[in-house]
Structure 1
Amino acid sequence: MVAGAVAGTVAMMFAAGCSFSVGGEKVVKKAEVAKQASAGLGKEVGREPEDVTCEDDLKAKVGESVRCTLTDGGKKLGMTVTVKSVDGKDVKMDYKVDGAADTGASADPQPSDSAQPTDTTTSGTGGEQSVDKAEVARQGKAALAAQVGKEPDSFSCPENLPARVGATIRCQLADGGQQYGVTVTAKSVVGGQVNMDFKVDQTPAG
């Protein structure tokens, strides 16, 4: 049972806060880029090309680009897809076929398979980005396990954590029949990454 550890070791360890990076860079999968490019080109010329393939996933960051190839009528043409804007999960992309004009469309970025943890920022009220409450809880539980060698019975948060420096929410962990409050604070926000501190209350909830 880790109740004693939670009451002692964990509370002391987390009193000063435990910082770690949450997020990982968001990307639009290359298959989704190709799909959106095909649809965007279809709107421009009245029909979609026979095939569109892209070399890599596209980072959900303004100015990032990836090369694709479209096939139509037996001909292959190169195309550059560039991120024009990122608003939460909405990514506006421009498509420029070699020797042609730009077009554009939007897509929801899908988290990279290699990015750990994945896709922690989401659109909140008024367009404000936030870390989903389930993801905050997952990361808090994992951080706690790393500190004491065993995950608590449960770790839950009632709301999302705004992706804004200084933003805080209150969460709860439970273990061995005891419940402790946890204050989660966004310490820094860089791109799609939110660095969070977890501070466990010194005494269990009444």
Structure 2
Amino acid sequence: MTDTHATAAPAAALVHAVRTGLAELADPRKAPDMQRYMKSDMPFRGVPTPERRALGRRLFAEYPLSDVDAWRATVLSLWREASFREERYLALDLTGHRRYADWQTPLLLPMYEELIVTGAWWDFVDELASRRIGPLLRAHRATVTPVMQRWANDPHLWRRRTSIICQLGSKEDTDTDLLIHCIEANLHDRDFFIRKGIGWALRQFAHVEPAWVRNFVDGHPTLSPLSRKEAMKHS
């Protein structure tokens, strides 16, 4: 049985250190422009990406988490209790830290799904889709493929975008049946992020299989002009 007090202590210490570190790096002059650019309801501290990542590297080394429960608790605390967007960025940075790579299993899908649904914007979702869900899919196809198939038909926009772009890094390991399924399920969606995501997914795969992508585009005349333009950008 997990000792909840032992789990909570390192999680709380790292969360406190992250908030303190961000406050020390805050630049109130930059924060409004960052918030406007991201069209975010949540305010920013005004911490640029390089400084934020450096802070994360330092703190993640200083406050190691000894088990997956403490790690998950820290991620969720940073995410759910965030007052500033950079806290959520650091939560995402923590999910991808190499120290915890062995904990990346399909058991994390519910956590990542929560971050996708509650984040509900491209800066969060694209990182999760391509760098968390994608590797899980490649390592655990039998488990994750049916989830992506369901998400492709989900009412929630960002689950659907995740299913479309989760194979951005797959290259020759791309599951073309899954790619077709996820795109065809969303062919008639007029949302910008869906149309852009379809084009992006096809463009990435075109680096490996340009002929396949050309044939797919030619065989799907109902692809939106945006999707078609993105897919054929380098052809």
Q: Give the structure-1-normalised TM-score.
A: 0.28
Does 1 or 2 have the higher relative contact order (CA < 8 Å, sep 6+)? Answer: 1
Between Structure 1 and Structure 2, the one with more helix by share is 2
